[in-house]
Amino acid sequence: MGRLFGTDGVRGVANADLTAELALGLSVAAAHVLAEAGTFEGHRATAVVGRDPRASGEFLEAAVVAGLASAGVDVLRVGVLPTPAVAYLTGALGADLGVMLSASHNAMPDNGIKFFARGGHKLADELEARIEKVYTQHRGGDSWDRPTGGGVGRVSDYDEGFDKYIAHLMGVLPNRLDGLKVVLDEAHGAASRVSPEAFARAGAEIVTIGAEPDGLNINDGYGSTHMERLRAAVVEQGADLGIAHDGDADRCLAVDAAGNEVDGDQILAVLALAMREAGQLRKNTVVGTVMSNLGFKLAMEGEGIEVVQTGVGDRYVLESMKEHGYALGGEQSGHVIVLDHATTGDGTLTGLMLAARVAATGRTLADLAGVMTRLPQILINVPDVDKSRVGTSPELATAVTEAERELGSTGRVLLRPSGTEPLVRVMVEAADIEQAKAVAERLADVVKSALG
């Protein structure tokens, strides 16, 4: 697998890349590293463990629980819950560690392990690196210092986690959703019980699709990566809006009453204005990424709200928010972080807050989302080039400068080397899609000739 930890935990094909042995060993290593870091000092350590409904999550959960308990950590199993619910419960229960078994929006054969530190925050990079190093050193398990007798961890089911998380969501909802009809697409994933329950308790009339997980159908034709069924259902049901989650429900995308998709940039724009009105948008700033649509940035500037852009990935958005004290941030893909109420992207919370804005204003979602105009965005992947030379090629620099001059203030060029493949991504935005396409194709040709 190369380096084990990626930008969002450890992922791979379950029982091929991500085996029970690996899950057990990483869990033991995590317990030892956190103990050495002083996390468990002075008390008996506790961990919260949850999973999405994938079939492989059953044996991987057993391996993680066994590893933690064998290292002297008491385990609270919360069962099938969204990633943000496990993060929330880790903090709310005062646990020392949280573990979520999920591969998010990936197809069913994949699975993943994500660790949360005390408080429900993502583990620091240096701790992940240390866990990986310790795991590698002790692979095989013979050299661990193992507790015996009463020193081993105890395992119990924490069935109250579902209601505790729902109560948290209800407690932060700004207003009720009475009078709204909402279609929910749960991707046959971790929010299949949570999200319908939350929206119903908030007063919405709900229609649910993709909420019958069988362990094998997660993300299969439903959810935020497959919006077709939700768009059709919203129109067919005459609903006010639709909400789509991914497999672990840390994402939220939406659909307006006419069946048009409302992406993460538009959701951020709507929530930014709502939070500013409520006095909650700290420093009058919202955090996006370099891939946020230019239309989002222009709209926020037009409303007098500052936009801070980070690298692509919700981890970078979160880092910026925590470092500078911002309250709202997210990505076009639907990862939206409301830091006062969640330590990670929370798709159910985002959907509730978006619906609450519709209910509070009496305006349609299409009207609210119309605060920004999505500029046409063309993305071309140019393979088999020397991506390391993107920033040093004079020929490419000249071509980019010419393109930016042609596009003016209502267009944008972004060249990004892929993090995992030998290719360069050429992204062009412009008010006119034909212009965006022409400029993107021209730049892609220059990338091929200059870096090939």
Q: Which residues are catalytic?
A: 104
Do the beta carbons of residue 380 and residue 430 sit within 8 Å? no
Residue with tokens 């929370």: 346
Q: Where are the alpha helices (DSSP H) in 362-393?
A: 365-369
145 is in an annotated binding site: no
What angle is formed at CA 265 by the lines to CA 262 and CA 267, rounded to 5 degrees?
55
The tokens for 182 are: 């909402």
256 is in an annotated binding site: no
What angle is formed at CA 292 by the lines to CA 289 and CA 276, rounded to 5 degrees?
85
Hey, CA dihedral for 72, 77, 78, 83, is it positive or negative? positive
Q: What gap in Å lies between CA 336 and CA 320, rounded to an integer?
A: 14
248 is in an annotated binding site: yes
Residue with tokens 């500037």: 301
Question: If DSSP codes are grouped into helix, strand and coil, which group holds residue 144?
Answer: coil
Q: What gap in Å lies between CA 168 and CA 174, rounded to an integer?
A: 12
Which residues face 275 on adjacent strands? none
Please name which of 198, 171, 230 lies closest in space to residue 352, comparing C-alpha atoms: 198
- Annotated binding residues for Mg(2+), written as ranges, equal 104, 246, 248, 250
